[in-house]
Amino acid sequence: MSVASRGAGAVETAPATSASAPPLDDEQVVARVRDGDTALFEILMRRYNQRLFRLLRPLLGEDDEAADVLQEAWVRAFEHLDQFAGRARFSTWVSKIALHEAWSRSRARRRLVPAAAPGEDGGELAFTAPAPTPERETAQRELGGLLHDAVDRLSLPLRMVFVMRAVEGLSTAETADLLEISPENVKVRLHRARTALRGDLERRLGVEAPRLYGFDGDRCDRIVEAVMARILPG
């Protein structure tokens, strides 16, 4: 199947479906796309875009590049859709395409060391919030930033396993399949990643802790103004 076969300048949108109609499963969508209903490919993309981006982002290190590779991976998946035989789930099949696309690009640009290649080991390694307020949302963004930075500092093998298992929620078996390592190795890497993250976050939080529950800026101004309004005469 070729993307070019859709015709230059063609604009396609997924057709509306009845609210009472059950959603198509992946295999049904693939079959219909193969039969020429190309617009339905959008269903697969929307279904798995977040998952694939989450797999690519820790490998490539940049949002823009991850998005670019994601686009290329979807094009490649479409071009080779006839090769999807259903022996594995479509989500696994397209995840492998995306990861291999990322690994190929990384090797070409010499951004990864050989130990980061699939099948090789190396390296070390949810919040339930009350009702949101502007101050709490700011604090959560800062805490999320600390975790994001800590994950980025993990070695690549640990980072990939952590994102697949802890962020994306893939099973040990599927993670092992995607990375071409044993399930036992997945468990070891996940344990190392969690240990490394715990230590890193403890060190960072030790520096940031004095800012916890800060009461300055607008929050302080509001209290001062309210109190002064009550105690000043007239």
pLDDT at 193 over 70: yes
Which pLDDT belongs to residue 186? 95
pLDDT band at residue 203 using 50, 70 and 90 as cut-offs? confident
**Chain centre distance of CA 186:** 18
Same domain? 227 vs 150:
yes
Question: Looking at the domain assignment, is residue 13 inside a domain?
Answer: no
Residue in 109, 135, 115, 110 with CA at minimum distance from that of residue 212: 135
Question: Looking at the domain assignment, is residue 14 inside a domain?
Answer: no
Same domain? 164 vs 101:
no
Residue in 5, 9, 3 with CA at minimum distance from that of residue 45: 3
55-69, 100-114, 157-171: which has the minimum mean pLDDT?
100-114
Question: Looking at the domain assignment, is residue 127 inside a domain?
Answer: no
Q: Which residues make Cβ contacts (< 8 Å) with residue 164, sequence separation at least 6? A: 55, 170, 174, 175, 178, 179
The tens digit of pLDDT for each residue in 22-47 reads 888 999 999 999 998 888 999 999 99
Which pLDDT belongs to residue 97? 93
pLDDT at 70 over 50: yes
Q: Indicate the residue among 60, 78, 112 that finishes a domain.
A: 112
Mean pLDDT of the chain: 75
- The arithmetic mean of pLDDT across residues 44-58, rounded, is 89
Question: Looking at the domain assignment, is residue 141 inside a domain?
Answer: yes
The tens digit of pLDDT for each residue in 109-133 reads 654 444 444 444 433 323 333 455 5
pTM for this prediction = 0.59
**The CATH number of the domain where 196 resides is what?**
1.10.10.10
The tens digit of pLDDT for each residue in 77-97 reads 998 999 998 888 999 999 999
pLDDT band at residue 98 using 50, 70 and 90 as cut-offs? very high
pLDDT at 212 over 70: no
**The CATH number of the domain where 82 resides is what?**
1.10.1740.10
132-146 b/e (C-beta count within 10 Å ≥ 16 → b): eeeeeeebeeebeeb
**Structural domains counted in the chain:** 2
Same domain? 29 vs 75:
yes
pLDDT at 150 over 70: yes
Question: Looking at the domain assignment, is residue 58 inside a domain?
Answer: yes
Same domain? 67 vs 25:
yes
Which pLDDT belongs to residue 187? 95
CB 156 within 8 A of CB 59: yes
What CA–CA distances, in Å, run from 138 to 85, 142, 161? 47, 6, 29
Question: Looking at the domain assignment, is residue 122 inside a domain?
Answer: no
For residue 61, give its domain range: 20-112
Same domain? 99 vs 155:
no
